[in-house]
Structure 1
Amino acid sequence: MDDRIEPFTIAATDAQLGDLRERLLRTRWPREIGDNGAWQAGANLAYMRELTDYWLNTYDWRAQEAKMNALPQFRTTIDGVPIHFIHVRGKGSNPTPLILNHGWPWTFWDMREIIGPLADPAGVGGDPADAFDVIVPSLPGFTFSSPLDRPGVNFFETAHLWVKLMDRLGYERFATQGGDFGAMISAMLGHAYPDRVIGAHLHFIAPIKPPYPEPSDFEPHEYAWGAKTQTFMQDGNGYMQIQRTRPQTPAFALNDSPVGLAAWLVEKRYAWADVRDGLETVFSKDDLLDTVMLYWLTETYVSSARYYYEARPGNAGPVHDRVPVVEAPVGVLQFAEDVMPQPRRWAERYYNLQRWNVAHTGGHFAPMEVPDLMIDDIRAFFRELLT
């Protein structure tokens, strides 16, 4: 079996960038009916025009590419699945291996603000005893973990792949952290491999199998969370239903139109982040376009969207029926402004819950929105487990 790990450098071709520019210049803009200033019907036309003008005339992919390439990146293949990952060695006496898991529509680059401080805490005024060896894989089918041509790769399967990746890197036991699908991967690791997982830190919680949260699980002070989750499932999950059932159909449009892809991805940043003071108080135009470019250049909208399709009920998943479902120690940093906050009472049954905190600033993309808060909570959780 070929278990080589090879250094990797991002290098878009001039032809790719020239083709992108031509497509942007030829954008055929849709009509916008009524007042969509608050993005009620989806991506806002005026903002997408503004962002596209910036994309054409100001955004510098080569500068952003160089920033990405400053991080040590690698590629390997596990069970026929190409895997791209960042691997930053910690600066401390005994760094703890930590695998950070992103979600959709994230990329590895969403972790950039927390990688350095977690690997080198002394470099930002922290304690070197808190150092981690930080591993940030791109999920299968996302950006440079491509092309993914075989079906069946979901977050359950990804957890198994990550154990093999950590074996390949020489780590027997390791910590894990994640949000969105990344939280479900981290939970699956703690479910299937409690002997290997030091602990799982989650900033988004969702069941990987029954039992599911019930309305009676919400305490009075959590009722607003239950209402928010219900609203999201009624009004905000159209993208999910499409990607769970027919991901191939929108791929024809989103693999062909860069502005179409941008609208699909940027709208999720607006809808899911804590943008109460405005989208660009959280994400700069460069931040938004970096994400779009990583999906565009790798042509991975369809394989990333298929992650939902492969997670449908009935696909291979849980490995036991014990309670708690996740037996490895779990720490939760719940963001009240996230899209689906869940009740603590359910979490205490579902996880081997060792830590619970609630944050009232920041949202779904917390490593980008409030990196300092994330860093502090991750360090505190694992410090308690390791001392």
Structure 2
Amino acid sequence: MSPISPSVTRRTLLLTAAAAGALGAGQRAVAMAKGDGGEIHPFTFKATDAQLDELRRRIRSTRFPEREIVDDSSQGVQSSTIKKLAKYWAENHDWRKVEARLNALPQFTTRIDGVDVHFIHVKSRHDGALPIIVTHGWPGSTIEQMKIIEPLTNPTAHGGSASDAFDVVIPSIPGYGFSGKPEEKGWDPIRIAQAWIELMNRLGYARYVAQGGDWGDAVTEQMALIAPPQLLGIHVNMPATVPDDIAVALRPGGTKPADLSPDEDHAFNQLDDFYKHGLGYAIEMANRPQTLVGIADSPVGLAAWMIDHDIRSYELIARVFDGKSEGLTRDDILDNVTLYWLTNTAVSSARLYWENKLDFFAVKNVKIPVAVSVFPDEIYAAPKSWTERAYPKLIHFNKLAKGGHFAAWEQTKVFCEELRSAFRSVRG
């Protein structure tokens, strides 16, 4: 997740229009100078046995801290949870299974703006499928969206009709997963949005939509601000809808307005709690990402850092290691953490927080059609009143009964139904 504080400056937003101008001939000339010839290459990945043996050795040799001195998670990831995670990871998790699923998908790389971009690209067998580019967040990856590929590309087998079909493109953010790691400054959500527009151009799509949550929301909304004519609309599941007066009230010393509706009051309280108690990881990554050597050196340290994203996600993750089932499985979680470990992207992914200058939840004045799905256990459940003000061309708004921050991953069926409903009006 990307917000740093409710008072982060929004001056970068004033540069968005100028950023859009960089998509013309000038950018293409720079791209060619960086060796971006536009070629697209097939991609597969296979970890070596030595890498997996070393991973298990490091897990088993973890030096754990003493148990927390409270009986809840107020001091962070609880000792019992991380020890159960480590035991399962070392003894039961099988990376080869998820590796096989990944390699069964059409994966590619292409060089854009000097960085190799990895992406999954699955075309529907149905005529007239609508192309969609889906962007993950932190601590996510392309693994986070693998479950949605089959229902979106083959809707007739999953409760939809042929007219609901999508061609699905899922890229890895630079510095994440199998994408290259930027070697120069400037890879913020605006630059990533520009790269995604170029990627869809290279794939030959004359019309498409975009989707994202977490960093994916930031990138997707920047795509909408650039507003290439090919982009018909966007869908977000962690929208930027917080009005200026609410942002001011959320700052230290601020006072909650007295005239909030029940939904607005609930969203305010969620944000207030997150800013006060949930931002530690984001602050460190935004200020000193290179200091996080420990999570690049210790797989269990990395896992603890990643699962402590927000309290509701942590609670969902912790309970599956107690043998309960709710959306995500132990293997889901460890598939994703293992990808970060094998690609050594703990720190390179954190640098996106350092690069970002956007106020994450602030209204961005998106003018193109927007669809919003609100999951109750997200960092905040955007009220319809704020959402309608933030997006003048709101084409879909729905509050779901269940689901949190990793909606595509944990509530796949509902998430796919939302995308089908959201974009029916823009298919033409």
- Alignment of structure 1 residues 358-373 onto 2, 5 Å: 358-373=399-414
Instruction: Look up the match of 2:378.
Output: 338
Instruction: Give the Cα separation in 1 of the matches to 2:316 and 2:62.
Output: 27
| TM-score normalised according to structure 1 size | 0.91
| SS in structure 2 at match of 1:86 | strand
Aligned with 1:137 (options 171, 195, 200): 171
Aligned with 1:240 (options 268, 282, 288): 282
Determine if contact 2:193/2:219 at 8 Å carries over to the other structure: yes
Instruction: Look up the match of 1:81.
Output: 115
For residue 297 of structure 1, report the CA deviation from its aligned partner: 0.4
| TM-score normalised according to structure 2 size | 0.83
| RMSD, matched Cα | 2.3
Structure 1 residues 360 and 309 mapped into 2: Cα distance closer, same or farther (>3 Å)? same
Structure 1 residues 135 and 247 mapped into 2: Cα distance closer, same or farther (>3 Å)? same
For residue 340 of structure 1, report the CA deviation from its aligned partner: 2.2
Give CA deviations for 1:37-56 in whole Å, capped at 9, x if unaligned: x3221111112111111111
Instruction: Look up the match of 2:5.
Output: none
| SS in structure 2 at match of 1:229 | helix
Structure 1 residues 135 and 92 mapped into 2: Cα distance closer, same or farther (>3 Å)? same
Which runs of no fewer than 5 residues in structure 1 stay unpaired? 318-322
Instruction: Give the Cα separation in 2 of the matches to 1:348 and 1:152.
Output: 32
Residue 298 of structure 2 corresponds to residue 257 of structure 1: yes
Residue 330 of structure 2 corresponds to residue 285 of structure 1: yes
| SS in structure 2 at match of 1:162 | helix
Instruction: Give the Cα separation in 2 of the matches to 1:81 and 1:295.
Output: 18
Residue 422 of structure 2 corresponds to residue 381 of structure 1: yes
Determine if contact 1:225/1:336 at 8 Å carries over to the other structure: no
Instruction: Give the Cα separation in 1 of the matches to 2:336 and 2:128.
Output: 33
For residue 20 of structure 1, report the CA deviation from its aligned partner: 1.2
For residue 276 of structure 1, report the CA deviation from its aligned partner: 9.9
Determine if contact 1:74/1:84 at 8 Å carries over to the other structure: yes
| SS in structure 1 at match of 2:209 | strand
Residue 74 of structure 2 corresponds to residue 40 of structure 1: yes
Instruction: Look up the match of 1:205.
Output: 239
| SS in structure 1 at match of 2:81 | helix
Residue 346 of structure 2 corresponds to residue 301 of structure 1: yes
User: Bigger shift: 281-290 or 134-143?
Assistant: 281-290
Instruction: Look up the match of 1:146.
Output: 180
Instruction: Give the Cα separation in 2 of the matches to 1:122 and 1:262.
Output: 37
Residue 263 of structure 2 corresponds to residue 221 of structure 1: yes
For residue 268 of structure 1, report the CA deviation from its aligned partner: 2.3
Instruction: Look up the match of 1:320.
Output: none
Instruction: Give the Cα separation in 1 of the matches to 2:271 and 2:157.
Output: 39
Give CA deviations for 1:114-169 in whole Å, capped at 9, x if unaligned: 11111111232421111111000011111111233222101111100000001111
Determine if contact 2:82/2:304 at 8 Å carries over to the other structure: yes
Give CA deviations for 1:25-48 in whole Å, capped at 9, x if unaligned: 211111123134x32211111121
For residue 291 of structure 1, report the CA deviation from its aligned partner: 0.9
Identity %: 39
Instruction: Give the Cα separation in 1 of the matches to 2:176 and 2:397.
Output: 30
Structure 1 residues 136 and 18 mapped into 2: Cα distance closer, same or farther (>3 Å)? same
User: Bigger shift: 180-189 or 253-262?
Assistant: 180-189
Instruction: Give the Cα separation in 1 of the matches to 2:416 and 2:101.
Output: 21
For residue 296 of structure 1, report the CA deviation from its aligned partner: 0.4
Instruction: Give the Cα separation in 1 of the matches to 2:337 and 2:233.
Output: 32
Structure 1 residues 212 and 78 mapped into 2: Cα distance closer, same or farther (>3 Å)? farther
Determine if contact 1:336/1:361 at 8 Å carries over to the other structure: yes
Instruction: Give the Cα separation in 1 of the matches to 2:314 and 2:369.
Output: 27
Instruction: Give the Cα separation in 2 of the matches to 1:218 and 1:203.
Output: 22
Amino acid at match of 1:186: T
Which runs of no fewer than 5 residues in structure 2 stay unpaired? 1-31, 248-255
Structure 1 residues 78 and 211 mapped into 2: Cα distance closer, same or farther (>3 Å)? farther
Instruction: Give the Cα separation in 1 of the matches to 2:155 and 2:305.
Output: 36
Determine if contact 1:218/1:343 at 8 Å carries over to the other structure: no
Residue 145 of structure 2 corresponds to residue 111 of structure 1: yes
Give CA deviations for 1:53-85 in whole Å, capped at 9, x if unaligned: 111111111122112211111111101111110
Instruction: Give the Cα separation in 2 of the matches to 1:205 and 1:144.
Output: 27
Residue 59 of structure 2 corresponds to residue 24 of structure 1: yes
| SS in structure 2 at match of 1:91 | coil
User: Bigger shift: 189-198 or 273-282?
Assistant: 273-282
Structure 1 residues 340 and 156 mapped into 2: Cα distance closer, same or farther (>3 Å)? same
Instruction: Give the Cα separation in 1 of the matches to 2:159 and 2:395.
Output: 27
Amino acid at match of 1:13: T
Give CA deviations for 1:154-192 in whole Å, capped at 9, x if unaligned: 111110000000111111221011111101111111111
| SS in structure 1 at match of 2:235 | strand
For residue 312 of structure 1, report the CA deviation from its aligned partner: 2.5
Aligned with 1:50 (options 75, 84, 93): 84
Amino acid at match of 2:87: D
